[in-house]
Structure 1
Amino acid sequence: MTLTAAPVVRRRRLHRAWVVATVTMLALVAAAGFRSSTGALLEPLERDFGWSRGVTSGAVSLNLIVYGLTAPFAAALMGRFGIRRVVPLALVLTAAGSGLTLVMTSAWQLWALWGFAVGIGTGALALVFGAIVANRWFVSHRGLVTGVFSAASSTGQLVFLPLIAHLVDGPGWRWAAGIVAVFALVLSPVVWLVMRDSPGDIGETPYGSPADAVPVPAPRTPGAATLALTTLREVSGTWTFWALFVSFWVCGWSTNGLIGTHFIPAAHDHGMAETTSASLLALIGIFDIVGTIASGWLTDRIDPRLLLFMYYLLRGLSLLWVDQLLGDSIHPSLFLFVLFYGLDWVATVPPTVALCRSHFGLERSGVVFGWVFASHMVGAGVAASFAGWTRESTGTYLTAWLTAGILCLAAAVVCLMIPAERHRRPDLV
Structure 2
Amino acid sequence: MPLVRTPVVGNSDRVTLAANPTRFRIHWAWVVAAVSFVAILGAAGFRSIPGVMMNPLHDEFGWSHGTVGLAMSVNMMLYGLTAPFAAALMDRFGVRPVLTVSLLLIATGSACSIAMTASWQLVLLWGVLVGIGTGSISMGFVATIATRWFDQRRGLVTGVLTAASATGQLLFLPVVAAVTTQHGWRWASMIVAAASLAVVPLVALFMRNRPADLGLAPYGATALAPGAPVPAGGFSAAFDGLRIGARTRVFWLLAGSFAICGMTTNGLIATHFIPAANDHGMPTTVAAGLLATIGILDVVGTVFSGWLTDRVDPRLLLLIYYVGRGLSLLLLPSLLSRRAEPSTWVFVIFYGLDWVATVPPTIVLCREYFGDRSPVVFGWVFASHQVGAAIAAAGAGWLRDLNGNYDLAFQLAAGLCMVAAALCLSIRKAQVTRPESIQADSSALP
TM category, shorter = 0.7 to 0.9
Q: 2: CA distance between counterparts of 1:326 and 1:45?
A: 31
1:2-37: CA deviations, max 9, x gaps? xxxxxxxx9971111111101101111222221243
**Conserved 8 A contact 1:65-1:381:** yes
Post-superposition shift, 1:142? Answer: 0.7
Q: Distance in 2 between matches of 1:309 and 1:49?
A: 47
Give distance in 2, aligned partners of 1:290 and 1:372.
Answer: 23
Instruction: After TM superposition, give the deviation of residue 89 of structure 1 in Å.
Output: 0.8
Query: Which letter maps to 1:222?
Result: A
> SS of the residue aligned with 1:204?
coil
C-alpha distance after superposition, 1:75-96 (max 9, x if no partner): 0000000001000110110111
Q: Do the aligned partners of 2:369 and 2:434 also contact (CA within 8 Å) in 1?
A: no
Give the CA deviation at 1:410: 1.8
State the shift of 1:238 in Å: 1.6
Whether 1:229 and 2:206 are equivalent positions in the alignment is no
Alpha-carbon contact 1:134-1:142 (below 8 Å) kept: yes
State the shift of 1:124 in Å: 0.3
Aligned 8 A contact 1:59 1:110 in 2: yes
The counterpart of 1:333, out of the listed 333, 336, 343, is 343
Is 1:379 aligned to 2:391, yes or no?
no
What one-letter code is carried by the residue in structure 2 that aligns with 1:373?
F
Describe the SS at the equivalent of 1:321: helix
How does 1:142-181 map onto structure 2 within 5 Å? 142-181=154-193
- Once the two structures are TM-superposed, the CA of residue 399 in structure 1 deviates from its matched residue by 4.3
- Give, in angstroms, the shift of residue 52 of structure 1: 4.0
- Equivalent residue number for residue 406 of structure 1: 415
% identical equivalent positions: 55
| Deviation sequence 1:40-59 (CA, Å, 0-9, x none) | 44455445444444433333
Aligned match of 1:7: none
* 1:359 lines up with 2:346 in the alignment: no
Match of 1:419 in 2: 428
Report the counterpart of residue 82 of structure 2 in structure 1: 70
**Match in the other structure for 1:22:** 34
Residue number in structure 1 paired with 2:310: 300
What is residue 101 of structure 2 aligned with on the other side?
Answer: 89
Moved more, 150-159 or 74-83: 150-159
- Residue 320 of structure 1 aligns to a residue whose secondary structure is helix
Residue range with higher mean Cα deviation, 115-124 or 23-32: 23-32
Query: Alignment length, in residue pairs?
Result: 413
For residues 50 and 380 of structure 1, the distance between their equivalents in structure 2, rounded to whole angstroms, comes to 27
Give the aligned CA root-mean-square deviation in angstroms.
2.6
Higher relative contact order (CA 8 A, sep 6+): 1
Question: How far off its partner does 1:208 sit?
Answer: 0.9
Q: 8 Å contact 1:33–1:157 — kept in the other structure?
A: yes
Q: Is this contact kept in 1: 2:218–2:224, CA < 8 A?
A: no
Give the C-alpha shift of residue 123 in structure 1.
0.5
Distance 2:355 2:129 in 1: 26
Which residue of structure 2 lines up, in the alignment, with residue 34 of structure 1? Answer: 46
Counterpart CA distance in 1 for 2:123 and 2:217 is: 44
Q: Aligned residue for 2:257?
A: 247
Letter in 2 for 1:260: A
**Which runs of 5 or more structure 2 residues have no equivalent in the other structure?**
1-21, 436-446
Per-residue CA distance 1:59-110 (angstroms, 9 max, x = gap)? 3222111111100000000000000100011011011112233333333222
Aligned residue type for 2:309: T
| Post-superposition offset of 1:274 | 5.3
Residues 422 and 157 (structure 1), Cα distance of their counterparts in 2 relative to 1, 3 Å cut: same
Call closer, same or farther: CA 1:328–1:93 in 2, change over 3 Å.
farther
Aligned pair 1:105/2:117, yes or no? yes
- Aligned residues of 2:45 and 2:195 also touching (Cα < 8 A): no
Q: CA deviation at 1:214?
A: 3.3
- Specify the SS of the correspondent of 2:230: coil
Q: Which amino acid aligns with 1:365?
A: S
For residues 406 and 293 of structure 1, the distance between their equivalents in structure 2, rounded to whole angstroms, comes to 27
Compute the displacement of 1:380 (Å). Answer: 1.6
Please give the per-residue CA displacement for 1:244-281, whole angstroms capped at 9, x wherever unaligned: 01111111112122333344455556665655544433
Q: CA deviation at 1:330?
A: 3.4
From 189, 198, 205, the equivalent of 1:186 is 198
Which residue is 1:79 aligned to? 91
User: Which stretch of structure 1 is more off in the superposition, 334-343 or 350-359?
Assistant: 334-343
Aligned pairs for 1:206-285 (under 5 A) are: 206-210=218-222, 213-214=223-224, 219-264=229-274, 266-267=276-277, 276-285=286-295
TM-score if structure 1 supplies the norm length?
0.88
Task: Give the residue type in structure 2 aligned to 1:62.
Answer: V
Name which of structure 1's ranges 281-290 and 399-408 shifts more when overlaid on structure 2: 399-408
Distance in 1 (CA, whole Å) between partners of 2:329 and 2:273 is 12
1:106-129 residue CA offsets vs partner (Å, 9 max, x unmatched)? 332222222211110001000110
TM-score normalised by structure 2 residue count: 0.85
